[in-house]
Structure 1
Amino acid sequence: MTVSAENPQLSIDDFTTNGEVAQGEVTVSGTSNREDGTTVFIEVLGQNENVIASDEAEVNGSTGEWSTTIDMSDVETGTYTLRADDDEASASLEFELVESVSTPTEEPTPTEEPSTDEPTPTEEPTTDESTPTEEPTTDESTPTETSTSTPGFGVIVALIALIAAALVAVRRD
């Protein structure tokens, strides 16, 4: 007879947009390594860990996923913590509840990325001769300045992800 055991694990999928969630119905999901039908208790906590909204979800044993929808249309805007707990493991995620979430425009960033490749070949001839250096540098300075925007999610999302990872690590200990 072989017996194997593993520590209970529970996680929350990031349901925010840059750390923000719009008022209304919010779908929250995550994963767990618990058996099929395990109940996950989901709570939205305000200041002093007051429960603002709550719901339950069941773990789908074949996929290890759970999901529920919480109505936060009547909840005031502010900073909240979503906590998921199944009596063996827990996870939490902090978010900002706002009236509406602005959708970030990330399409200009990819079109600017190829223009960053163009200055690279012009830099090679500029190293060879000093007179042609001034002409291409003047022509390429404008695209180089516009391509300095950071592609991806940005610093705020990276910090939120870091904080969430730290919270999960602390909760496991």
Structure 2
Amino acid sequence: MKIESDDEFGDLDNVKINGATLTITNEDTFTLTRDDEVEIGQGMFFKVADTAASDLRYYPFVEKTIGGEVVDDDEDDDNVTEPVDNDTEVEEPTEEPTEEPTEGPTTEEPTEEPTEADSSTPGFGVVLGLVGLLAVVYLVRRNN
């Protein structure tokens, strides 16, 4: 989007460009009422919150529609690539004699046996059982 100094955006009619700063102002006033949307420019709004009478909360927002729009540019027709037919020759397989593999001496690789877990290590069942017993003892002593 290109903005010039003499552009107008709805009710915003004073556009100033100073270096990298863009200032858009208005000579008139806007009336903001609770729970309302006030349009200040082309698609730009102030949304006013529904709060107590003494509080005024508002924020600017822009409504945009994403997707659903179809843009038909005739300029894109200049750069169209025609599809090229890809003709390939089909080769039929022919039967050829195959060599049979010869068996040679085979060596067996040693297989590793799975190691069992140390049976002296308690599992989570034992830990949970101890926690349960401690909880019962605590509750019984607390009630007495």
Larger strand proportion of the pair: 1
Larger helix proportion of the pair: 1
Larger radius of gyration: 2
The two structures have a TM-score, normalised by structure 1, of 0.25
Q: Which has the higher contact order (CA 8 A, sep 6+)?
A: 1
The two structures have a TM-score, normalised by structure 2, of 0.29
